[in-house]
Amino acid sequence: MYKNIDKKTKLELKNLVDYQDGQVVSKTLVQNNYVSMTIFSFDKGEEISTHAAGGDAMVTVLEGTGRFTVGGDVFILNAGETLIMPKDIPHAVYGEEKFKMQLVVSF
C-alpha cells in the first residue's frame, strides 16, 4: 500500500520532499481507490490553482505557512495546523512562504 517510503523506519514527513526554486514538488506515499496520501513542498509564491477533489481532502502544514482558499473562504495555516477541504468544493493552495504539507484525500 505504501510506496516511495521506507518501512519500519522512524521518519519526519517534512524531510521526504525538498524545496526546489520556483516549483511545487510532490511525493505520493499512498494511492488507491480509498485514500491518497501525498507530501508537498511549495516554493514561496508557487501555487496549485483552483480545482475540486473527488473526496474530502485533509491538509496538515508540516513547515512554513500556506494559504488555502476553499469555496471562497481563505485560511492561513502554519506548521502543525490542519484543514479539511470538502469533496467537490473548489479550492486552491498558495505558498505564502516556502512551506511543506501532507495531503490525505479519502474517497
Has residue 87 been placed in a domain?
A: yes
User: For residue 35, which amino acid is it?
Assistant: V
10 domain residue, yes or no? no
In a domain, 2, yes or no: no
With beta carbons less than 8 A apart as the criterion, state whether 92 and 75 touch: no
Q: How many domains does the chain have?
A: 1
Could you give the C-alpha distances from 33 to 27, 36, 52, in angstroms and in order? 18, 8, 17
Q: 1 pLDDT exceeds 90?
A: no
Looking at the domain assignment, is residue 1 inside a domain? no
The CATH number covering residue 51 comes to: 2.60.120.10
In this prediction the pTM is 0.95
Residue 14 lies in a domain: no
Q: Say if 58 falls within a structural domain.
A: yes
Q: What is the pLDDT of residues 5-57, one digit of tens each?
A: 999 999 999 999 999 999 999 999 999 999 999 999 999 999 999 999 999 99
Question: Residue 95: which domain range?
Answer: 19-106
Residue 96: band (very low, low, confident or very high) from pLDDT cuts 50, 70, 90: very high
Report the candidate in 63, 3, 56, 1 with the shortest Cα–Cα distance to residue 28: 3
User: 66 pLDDT exceeds 90?
Assistant: yes
Amino acid code (one letter) for 46: E
**Domain presence at residue 32:** yes
12 assigned to some structural domain:
no
Tell me whether residue 89 is exposed, middle or buried, using C-beta atoms within 10 angstroms of its C-beta: 0 to 12, 13 to 18, 19 or more.
Answer: middle
Q: How far is it, in rounded angstroms, from Cα 19 to Cα 25?
A: 7
